[in-house]
Chain A
């Protein structure tokens, strides 16, 4: 059983989701998976060395991760309420159209 490979596979799944998914919530889920992979690797290595410093770092990392998640989710809700969609491709298209209209107006 190797936790380094386990966390590498989790990281790969997260990066694949980050690159291929278009729904904003799915992108956020991918970011969570990447964070979980990193913490898993860190905690398992720290516990194999037998010292509590790694665990203490992870407790701090968990709370930072939660604060970041809250801010990302707030931005996500604001964007999807403003534009009426959560699809990144559609959002990019809308933004390009808006920029084009502004250029025409100038």
Chain B
């Protein structure tokens, strides 16, 4: 039952994120999508992925809220209650499909590699290189901000 409720919430919040007029409300609905996704992972027993989804989601949403505030223009007409309800109903109808339909998927049995082994023994070069990429992005942003501040003075 918990999976059905979470998947319905996921689809409804995704629909709201697309169809709500104001950018800030849209970002708030996207926050709901991230939360439901993380809860779905948690309910499925993928604890590490759920924690990462929470952490990444919070970071992305903080930046998105800021840029949403900066970029949003007031919409000419507000979202009516009727169109909001229509989106909710459409999301609820769409969420019936994963509950009642299924696609047969043949899954090969795994070799039983644990998360820690997979991350550090098999993908260690990726992790190191990705750390370098993220550090380069962070240094690049710091340099751009520093240059802009010097340019303003």
**A interface list, Cβ under 8 A from B:** 1-6, 9-10, 13-14, 16-17, 21, 23-26, 28-30, 32-33, 36, 39-40, 43-45, 47-53, 55-60, 62-67, 69-71, 73-74, 76-77, 80, 85-86
Contacts and interface: CB of A to CB of B under 8 A. Distances in A.
Interface of B: 3-4, 7, 10-11, 14-15, 17-18, 23, 26-27, 30, 33-34, 37, 40-41, 44-46, 48-49, 52-53, 56, 59-60, 63-64, 67-68, 70-73, 94-95, 97-99, 101-103, 105, 107-119, 122-123, 126-127, 130, 133-134, 137, 141
A1 B14 contact: no
Contact of B56 (A51, A66, A77): A66
B46 A43 contact: yes
22 contacts: A5-B97, A13-B15, A21-B18, A23-B23, A24-B71, A25-B23, A29-B18, A33-B33, A47-B45, A49-B107, A50-B109, A50-B110, A51-B112, A51-B113, A51-B118, A56-B118, A60-B130, A62-B52, A62-B53, A67-B133, A73-B67, A77-B67
